[in-house]
Structure 1
Amino acid sequence: MTIAASDADLATLARGGRTNFIGFLLRLAARFPFLFIAGRMYGLDALGRFAYAIIVVEFAAQLATMGLKRGLAKQLTESTRDHAHEVWDALIVCVLASLVIGGFLIAVPELMFPNSALNGLDRLLPLVVILIAAADIALSALAYRLDVGATVRARSIVEPWTLGIAAFALAFVTKRDGLIISYVLSMAAAFVASIIPLIRSYGWPRLWRPRLNLIAGIARQNTPLAAADAIEWASRRIDVAMLGLFLPPAAVAVYWMAQQIASIPQKLKTSFDSILAPIISQNLTAGNTRAVAEQVSQVGFWIIGAQLGTALMIGIPGEAVMGVVGPNFVAGTGALALLLAAEFMAATAAVSESALIYISRGRNAMISLLVIGIEAGLCFALLYAAREVRLPGFFPKNGGQLPLYYQAAAPALGLLMALGLGSIIKARLLSRLLNAPVTGWRWALAWAAIVGSVVGWAATQYLPEWAELAFGIPAIAGSYLVTLWYFGFGPDDRELFRLKRRQSDTPAVAENLNAGSAESL
C-alpha cells in the first residue's frame, strides 16, 4: 500500500472516529437522564422486569441480523451487482429471520418474563426485533458509504432521547409497563431515522427481485459471523442471566444499572466499527495485510486510550455516579468497578475481531465460544462460592455470609477474567495470520492512568459528592488527556483531532468523505 493510500485510510478512520465520538458524547448525555428516570421514578421490580425482557429481545435481534451487521461491508466490496439490490436483499434476510425468531418468542413469552405474569401487550414485544435488526442493517449499509452521521443521529440522538422522554411521561401513566413501552417507541424512532437516510443514499431498488437462493447463500455464508456477534453480545449479558438464578430481582436491578453505566466505554469501540469494516475489507481484498495490522493497532490504541480514560472518570467517583440514579444503587459500586475493568480488558479482543471476522471467521467464532463458556463457568463458580462462603470475623451480623451486593459483584469478576483471556488469544491469532504485530497498548497509557488516578483520589478525599461529579470528573479527564497527549500521541494519533482535511488526502477519498459525512450531525 502506498504512503498516500495509507494517509487516506488514516484520514478516513480519524474522520469517522471523530464523528462517532461526538455521537458517543451525545449518547452519554442522553443516557444518564434515562438512567436517572429509571432509577428514581420506577421501582426495582419494574426495572428488573424491564432489564430481563430487553436482554432476551436484543439477543434475538442480534441473531436476526445474520451476521450482516458487520458482514455487509465485505458483501458490498466483493459484489458486482447494484449495491441497492444487495442492501435490500440483506434487509429481506433480517426481516425473515426476525419473523422466525420473534414468532418463537411470541409463542413462548415466558422466556422474556420468567418471574412475572404477562400483562397487556407483553406477548407482542418480540415484534420490535424486526425494527432493531432492520435498523442495524440500514446503518451498516450507510457506513459502507462512510455516512457515519446517520448512526450518530439514529443511535445517539433519536433513540436515547425518545427513550428518556417517553419513560418520563409514561411514569405518570403506568409504572409497571412504562419502561417497556418507552423502549418500543425508541426502537421505532431509531428505525425511521435509519431507513430514511438509507433510501436517500441507495434509493429504491430498480428492476429488483428478491433472489431467495442468493439470500439463503448470504445467510449460510454469514453463519460463523452471526455466531460471533451473538456470542460477543451474550458475553455482556450472561452475567445478568446467571445472577438471576442465584439472587433476588432487586440485586439483578442494581447490577443491571451498574452494567448500563459500565457499558458506556464499550460504545467507544463501536464508534469505529462501522468505518473500520470497509477499510479492512478493501485492504484485505487488495492483499495489504500489513496495512490492516497497522490500522487495527492504531484504532486499538485510540479505543483503549478512550476506554481507560472513561473508566477512570466513572470508576474513581463510582459511589457518586451510582448515587445519581438513586441511593439504592450505591451498593453496586463494586460491581461497577469490576465491569469497567472488564470493558477495558475486552478492547483488544474487540478490535482484533474487526479483522478476524474477514480472515478467519470459524476460528474467531470458536474462540468466542470458548470465552463465553469460561465466563459462564467462572460466573457460576464465583456466585456459588460467594453465596456459600462464611467469614464470621468480617460479617458477624449475617452469620459470616457475604452481604447480598458483595455476592452480586461475583459475575463481574468472572467477566473480567474471561474477557482478558479472550483479548490475549485473539490478538495473538490476528498477529500470526497477518504476519505483523498487532497491539494497541503503549506504556504512556499507564503513566496517564497514574496521573488521572492521583487527581481522582484527591477529588474523592477532599470534595463533597456533588463536587466530585461537577469538578472531579473534568479534572480526571483533563489530567489524563494532557499526559497522554504529550507522552503517548504521535503525528498519526493527532490526526484524530485534526479538524480540517489534510492536503495529502486524495480527491477520491475526500469526495467519499464529504459524501458520507456532509450531514454528520
Structure 2
Amino acid sequence: MRGETQRNEGGRVNEDSGRLILHGARATGFGFAVRLAARLLFLFVAGRLYGAAVFGSYALALAAVELAVSVGSLGTKKTLFQLLDRHRGGAARPAAHALLDSALLVLAASLALGGVIALFAAMLPPETIAAGTATALLLLAPAVAGQALLDLFLAATRWTHVIRDEIVARSIVEPWALLAGCVAGWGLGWRVEGLAFGYGCGTLAALLYAASAARRRLGGLRLRTYRPIRRELSAALRGAADNTGTDLLNALYLRVDLYLVGVLLGEAAAGIYNMARQIAAPLRQIRQSFDGLLIPLVARSLAVRGGGATSAALASATRLVLVLQLPLLLFLFTAGGTLLAWLGPTFTGGYWALVALAAAETIQAAFSIGDLVFVYLRPRLGLGLTAISIALGIAAALLLIPQFGTAGAGLAVLLAYGVRALLRGWALRARFAFAVGRAHHAGPVGAAALGAAASLALGWERGPWWPTLAALAVYAAALQMWMHLTGQRLGLTGLASED
C-alpha cells in the first residue's frame, strides 16, 4: 500500500491524504504563477491607463458585489461537500441533482441581491455616492449571480478530488479574460466602464467553463429527470443559515477597511489602498491553493475523528502555509515600494499600507485554517469570533485612518487579524482540546524575522534587490537550521482519508 497506514477512530489516517493535498497544491503552482502574471498586468493596466480615481470607484463597487456573493453563495463552497456525500453511491437521487438543488437556491438568492445593489446605485442621490462608483455598481450587479454560481460549480468539481478545473477557471480563464476585457474597454473609449466590462468578461468565461467541468465530473447533470423537492431545498437552506452568516461577516471583515478608506479619504485614496490590497492578495492565494483538497479532507477527518484529534493535521497545514507565505512577505517588505512605483507613481504612497496588509494576510490566511473546525462543528462560534474582530477592526480604522491615512487602514486590519488569530487559538484549545502550542510555528516566524533584520542591516539606499536576496537567503538558511536542530518536518499529517 502506498504510504503508512493505521486505523484510528473509524477513519483511516495515512500519509496519502497529506500527499494528495500537496499534489493538489503543487498542481496549482503553475496556475498561481499564471494568475499572478495576469494580476500584475491587470494592475498595470488599471493603474497606468485608468488611474487611481477610476480604480478606486471600481474597487469600492467590486467590494460591494463580492460582499453580496458571500451571501448569495449560501455557504455552499463548504457545505456542498456534505450534501453531495449524502447522494454518493446508491442514494435515491444522484449527486448531480443535489448540485442542481443548490444551484436553484444560489441563483435565486444572488439575483435578488444583485437587484438590490442595482436599485441602491440607481436611487441614491448623487451627493451620497460618487458618480463613478454608482456606474460601476450598476454594471457589476449582474456579476453577483455569475460569481456565486462559479463558486458552486467549482466546489462540485473539487468534491471529485480533481483540482485541475479550478486551476484552469480561476488562474487562466477568469484573470486573462478580465485583462482582455479591460484592454478592450479602454480601446472602445470606456474610461469609467472599462474595468467593470473586463470583470464581466472574466466572470462569464469562467462560469461557462466551470459549469461544463462540473457536468463532466459528475457524469452529466441529468436535467431531464431532475425535479426539485421542496423538502430537500428547505433542508439545504436551513443548513446554510449559520455558515452564510459567517461567510457574510468574513467578507465584510475582508472589505470594511476599503469601505472606510473610500468614505473617509475619497475614491483616489481608495484606489491607492486597493492597489496595496491587490498586491498583498497572493499571500491569501497561497493558502487557497491548498483549499481545493484540504477542505473536503478536513471535513472527512472532523466527521470520523472529531476536532481535537484533527488538531495536528490543521497545525501542520498552518505551518506549511506559513513557510510558503513568508518569502513573499519578505519580498514585499524589501521591494514593495519599487513594485508600486512600476504600477504608477501615484501608488507609491501605499507602501506602508502594503507592508501592514501583507503581514495581516499572512496571519489570516495561515491561521484561519482552524476556522474549518467551526464551519463543520460549531458555526455559531466562528460567527461570534468574526463579529468581535470586525468590531475591533472598525474601531481601530476610525481612529487610525484620520491620523495615518491608508497606512492607518492597513494597521487596523493587522490589529484585527492578529486579535482574531489569538481568539481562534484560545477557542480551539478550550472547546476542541487542540493541544498544539505556538512553538509549533516558531521556526518559520523566527527565520523570517532574521531575514527582515538582514535586509535592514544592508540598507536600501542602492535599491531593493540585494536586501531582498539577503533576506530570502537568511530565511532559507535559518529555516533549514531550525528543522535540523528540532527534527521537525513540513509535511501534512493526521488527515483521515476515505475508506
- Global fold match (TM > 0.5): yes
Select the residue among 359, 375, 381 that pairs with 2:393.
375
Q: Does 1:163 align with 2:158?
A: no
C-alpha contact (below 8 Å) 1:427/1:438 kept by paired residues: no
Which of 60, 69, 75 does residue 83 from structure 2 map onto? 75
Q: Which amino acid aligns with 1:56?
A: A
With the length of structure 2 as denominator, give the TM-score of the two structures: 0.88
Residue 144 of structure 1: aligned partner: 159
Residue number among 48, 52, 62 corresponding to 2:56 in the alignment: 48
8 A Cα contact 1:297 1:439, kept in partner: no
> Which residue matches 1:399?
none
Q: Which residue of 2 aligns with 1:2?
A: 7
Give the structure 2 partner of residue 480 of structure 1.
475
Task: Please say if residues 57 and 133 of structure 2, whose CA atoms lie closer than 8 Å, have aligned partners that are also in contact.
Answer: no
For structure 2, list consecutive stretches of 5 or more residues without a partner in the other structure: 1-5
Match of 2:3 in 1: none
1:331 Cα deviation after fit: 0.6
The amino acid across from 1:101 in the alignment is: L
1:433 matched to 2:431? The reply is yes
Counterpart of 1:378 in structure 2: which amino acid? A
- The structural deviation recorded for 1:479 is 4.3
8 Å CA contact 1:262, 1:339 repeated in 2: yes
Structure 2 CA distance, aligned partners of 1:99 and 1:436? 41
Q: Distance in 2 between matches of 1:379 and 1:306?
A: 29
Pick one of 311, 316, 336 that aligns with 1:318.
336
Alpha-carbon separation, structure 1, partners of 2:97 and 2:423: 38
Q: Is residue 2:99 matched to residue 1:101? A: no
1:92 equivalent in alignment to 2:90: no
Letter in 2 for 1:75: L
Alpha-carbon shift at residue 29 of structure 1 (Å): 1.9
Are the counterparts in 2 of residues 30 and 160 from structure 1 also a CA contact under 8 Å?
yes
Pick the aligned partner of 2:19 from 11, 19, 23: 11
Corresponding residue number in structure 2 for 1:393: none
What number of residue pairs does the alignment pair up?
477
Paired with 2:82 and 2:40, the residues of 1 have a C-alpha distance of 35
Distance 2:20 2:115 in 1: 41
For 1:132, which of 134, 147, 152 is the aligned residue?
A: 147
User: Matches of 2:117 and 2:336 in 1, distance apart?
Assistant: 37
TM-score, normalization by structure 1: 0.84
Q: 1:23 aligns with which of 20, 28, 31?
A: 31
Kindly indicate whether the alpha-carbon contact (under 8 Å) linking 2:60 and 2:262 is maintained by their aligned counterparts in 1: no
Q: 1:340-373 CA deviation, whole Å, 9 max, x = no partner? A: 1111222354111022210100111111111111
Q: For the Cα contact (< 8 Å) 1:448–1:481, is it kept in 2? A: yes
C-alpha deviation, 1:484, in angstroms: 2.3
- The separation in 2 between residues aligned to 1:246 and 1:238, in whole angstroms, is 12
Structure 1 pair 491–422 and aligned structure 2 pair: CA distance change class (3 A): closer
Q: Distance in 2 between matches of 1:482 and 1:428?
A: 32
Q: Map of 1:323-342 to 2, 5 A cutoff?
A: 323-342=341-360
Mark the CA change 1:127 to 1:408 in structure 2 (over 3 Å): closer, same or farther.
Answer: same
Which amino acid is 2:444 matched to?
Answer: L
Aligned twin of 1:499: none
Matches for 1:265-344 after TM superposition, within 5 Å = 265-344=283-362
Q: Cα offset for 1:288? A: 4.8
Q: Identical aligned pairs, as a percentage?
A: 25
User: What is the CA distance between 1:256 and its match in structure 2?
Assistant: 0.8
3-state DSSP class of the match of 1:5?
Answer: strand
Cα 1:118–1:231, aligned 2, differ >3 Å: closer, same or farther? closer
* Match for residue 209 of structure 2 among 182, 193, 199: 193
Asked if the contact 2:276/2:350 (under 8 Å) is kept, the reply is yes
Give the equivalent residue in structure 2 for 1:423: 421
Rounded Cα–Cα distance in structure 2 between residues aligned with 1:83 and 1:167: 38
Deviation at 1:122, TM superposition (A): 6.0
**Alpha-carbon shift at residue 101 of structure 1 (Å):** 0.8
1:493 is aligned, of 472, 490, 493, to: 490
Q: Give 3-state SS (helix, strand or coil) of 1:176's partner.
A: coil
| Partner SS for 1:209 | coil
Q: Secondary structure at the match of 2:441?
A: coil
* Alpha-carbon separation, structure 1, partners of 2:445 and 2:132: 50
Residue equivalent to 2:460: 461
2:46 is matched with 38
Instruction: State the alpha-carbon separation in 1 of the partners of residues 30 and 447 from structure 2.
Output: 22
Q: Secondary structure at the match of 2:81?
A: helix
Tell me, yes or no, if the aligned pair for 1:269 and 1:350 is still in contact at 8 Å.
no
Deviation per CA, 1:368-427, whole angstroms, max 9, x where unpaired?
A: 11111111121112234x1xxxxxxxxxxxxxxxxxxx3222121111111111111112
* Structure 1 residue 111: Cα displacement: 8.7
Partner of 1:442: 441
Letter in 2 for 1:178: G
Counterpart-to-counterpart distance in 1, 2:33 and 2:480: 20
Deviation at 1:459, TM superposition (A): 6.6
Matched, 1:218 2:264: no
In 2, the alpha carbon distance for the partners of 1:443 and 1:326 equals 37
Residue deviations 1:50-75 (CA, integer Å, cap 9, x gap): 11111111111111100111111222
Counterpart code for 2:19:
A
Per mean C-alpha deviation after superposition, the further-off stretch among 298-307 and 177-186 is: 298-307
SS of residue paired to 2:282: coil
- CA deviation after TM superposition for structure 1 residue 189, in Å: 1.2
